[in-house]
Amino acid sequence: MAPDALMQPPVIILLRPQMGENIGSSARAMKNCGISELRLVAPRDGWPNPLARPMAASGADILDNATVYDDIGSAMHDVVLAFATTARMRDLVKPTTDPRGAAEMSVAKPQSEGRRIAYLFGAERSGMDNDEAVMADYIVSADLNPDFPSLNLGQAVLMMSWEWRMAALRAQSLSDAALDDNWPERATIQERDFFFQRFESLLHDKGFFATKEMAPIVNRNMRAFFTRAEPTKQELQTWHGILSMLMKDS
Amino acid sequence: MAPDALMQPPVIILLRPQMGENIGSSARAMKNCGISELRLVAPRDGWPNPLARPMAASGADILDNATVYDDIGSAMHDVVLAFATTARMRDLVKPTTDPRGAAEMSVAKPQSEGRRIAYLFGAERSGMDNDEAVMADYIVSADLNPDFPSLNLGQAVLMMSWEWRMAALRAQSLSDAALDDNWPERATIQERDFFFQRFESLLHDKGFFATKEMAPIVNRNMRAFFTRAEPTKQELQTWHGILSMLMKDS
């Protein structure tokens, strides 16, 4: 998790947006959530659009700084991870996630100049076509009312922006927790593996396995059990002490 | 968790809404998320409002069925749990939660006729006043950009409706999972306690505790370790087999 997740918002890209009002309300939603970069691909009524500003409220600076592109490819020139928010596509096989999953993936990857993460939104009514959706790494599908799943464009931008913000806030608080001195120190995979080997030797040496076939199954189940408990270094030391005592005994 | 959480949406109450467009976009957001009941308290421009319908899209039926009240008290006549979405109130001490917390609380409580859950939204710009907020059980505060936390009314309704839907979907899937026959059968507390007693006897009998003071600390840490792994009945049986073998040995 990036410790400065809130400082690395994604880029919002609107494909062929039609109504200025919707571009404005998208900017407002972005501003509410701390996202600042807006890119427009071939806006129907040109740009700037006077209908956008009243809806943007304090997001007017986002409109002022919005950049306009002729096609989706140039709008994505520096994008390394893209999420396309759209209803499920026919005839297109793509990994799919939901808004919360997309947000979690977004905050898990650090961005940098020339390596951006983008959320793509299709045009009002017509949505995104297959040639556009194919440019994205993931299709984002929200589990909405099947009788009317179609969100207003500004609402779709708010939903994604809010999910991003919640994920970023959570990543920051986890990251703060990880820096906390009181966080118990987890054993490494290597340390766990060394412990398992000793544990398995003990079971073998003491003749626990009545049949040869039994060993791999019990060993696997015991590994799953110990792994689930997420042992700390301290706990594995205690376990090693127990193993040493039991081994000495035989 | 209610198994039919999705079938028990909250009531949406708009206090003194000003713009018909915002009432319409609230209805659309509700429809998208499967929420159907809209109540309006003293809408500024009367009701019905012709500006609402174009923004409502397929949520027009929600507008048709909306009910209008003169004051907040009568709009809440059958409400037993209310969440007021607003910026933090000065001079008002109320339990506060965030949209996700409000959604989780909402789906955890069954509703019935005459016992409804409501989300309250203040007027555009002026928001909710203290006399209105005091009627709610919880203040819902979203952690938005501190430079511009003010959501458009329709956006606020979408955010709460989406969080409710996600919580309801999750409650339903948890409830389905609980019914699943394949859910591994967890050991009871009693079964765990019996196992711990045998385990502790082994450590004691083998002379693991170098000092008297060491025993309660190690025992407590080991209980914490095993509890964290949430052992199944099957796993405890394997452990009992291991203990029996080790005990026989001495």
Tens of pLDDT, residues A135-166: 899 999 999 999 999 999 999 999 999 999 99
pLDDT at position B182 is 47
Give B149 to chain A, closest Cα distance, Å: 5
Question: In this predicted structure, what is the pLDDT of residue B141?
Answer: 92
Among residues B33, B25, B166, which one has the least CA distance to residue A154?
B25
In contact, B72 and B84? CB cutoff 8 Å:
no
Is the confidence at residue A1, as pLDDT, over 50?
no
* Contact residues, B window 97-156, toward A, CB-based 8 Å cutoff: 100, 142-145, 147-152, 154-155
Burial class (CB in 10 A: 0-12, 13-18, 19+), A46: exposed
User: From the CB of residue B54, how many other CB atoms can be counted at a distance below 10 Å?
Assistant: 12
Contact A41, A16 (CB under 8 A): yes
Q: Among residues 195-214 of chain B, which lie with CB inside 8 Å of chain A? A: 203, 206-208
One digit per residue, pLDDT tens: chain B, 250 residues? 445 889 999 999 999 999 999 999 999 999 999 999 999 999 999 999 999 999 999 999 999 999 999 999 999 999 999 999 986 666 677 788 999 999 999 998 888 888 899 999 999 988 888 888 888 999 999 999 999 999 999 999 999 999 999 999 988 877 776 655 445 677 888 888 899 999 999 999 988 888 888 898 888 888 888 887 888 888 899 999 999 988 886 5
Query: Using CB atoms, which residue from B100, B144, B228 is nearest to A32?
Result: B144
Q: Under 8 Å CB-to-CB from A140, ≥6 apart: which residues? A: A83, A84, A85, A86, A96, A97, A98, A99, A101, A102, A119, A160
pTM for this structure? 0.74
- Domains of chain B plus CATH, in order, are 3-179 (3.40.1280.10), 189-248 (1.10.8)
Model pLDDT, residue B11: 98
Nearest to A31 among B145, B158, B245 (CB): B145
Residue B131: how many other CB atoms lie within 10 Å: 9
Q: Is A63 in a helix, a strand, or coil? A: helix
Residue B98 carries which DSSP code? -
Cβ <8 Å between A245 and B144: no
Q: What is the per-residue pLDDT for A184?
A: 61
Q: Name the residue facing B145 among A32, A226, A246 (closest C-beta).
A: A32
* Position A2 confidence tier, pLDDT thresholds 50, 70, 90: very low
Q: Of all residues in chain A, what percent carry a pLDDT higher than 70?
A: 92
Residues paired with residue A46 on neighbouring β-strands, in sequence order: none
CB contact under 8 A, B206 and A245: yes
For CA atoms A67, A70, A72, A76, give the dihedral sign.
Answer: negative
pLDDT at A177: 61
What is the dihedral sign for C-alpha B154, B156, B158, B164? Answer: negative
Find the farthest-apart pair of alpha carbons in chain A and give their distance in angstroms, rounded: 86
Tell me which chain B residues have a C-beta less than 8 angstroms from the C-beta of A141: none
pLDDT digits (tens, 9 = 90+) for A102-116: 999 999 888 888 889
List all residues of chain B from 217 to 236 with a beta carbon under 8 Å from chain A: 218, 221-222, 225-226, 228-231, 235
Please indicate whether, in this complex, the C-beta atoms of B144 and A246 are within 8 angstroms of each other.
no
Q: Is B32 exposed, middle or buried (0-12, 13-18, 19+ CB in 10 A)?
A: buried
Task: Say if residues A45 and A20 touch (Cβ distance below 8 Å).
Answer: yes
Chain B contact probe: residue of A55, A124, A155, A219 with most B CBs at under 10 A: A155
- From start to end of A7-125, where are the E strands? 11-15, 38-41, 67-69, 79-85, 96-97, 116-121
Query: What is the mean predicted confidence (pLDDT) over A176-205?
Result: 78
Which chain B residues have a beta carbon less than 8 Å from that of A162? 142, 159, 162
Give tens-digit pLDDT for A34-50.
999 999 999 999 999 99
Nearest to A143 among B57, B158, B169 (CB): B169
> Which chain B residues are closer than 8 Å to A228 by Cβ?
228-230
3-state secondary structure B34-90: CCCCEEEECCCCCCCCCCHHHHHHHHHHHHHCCEEECCHHHHCCCEEEEEEECCCCC
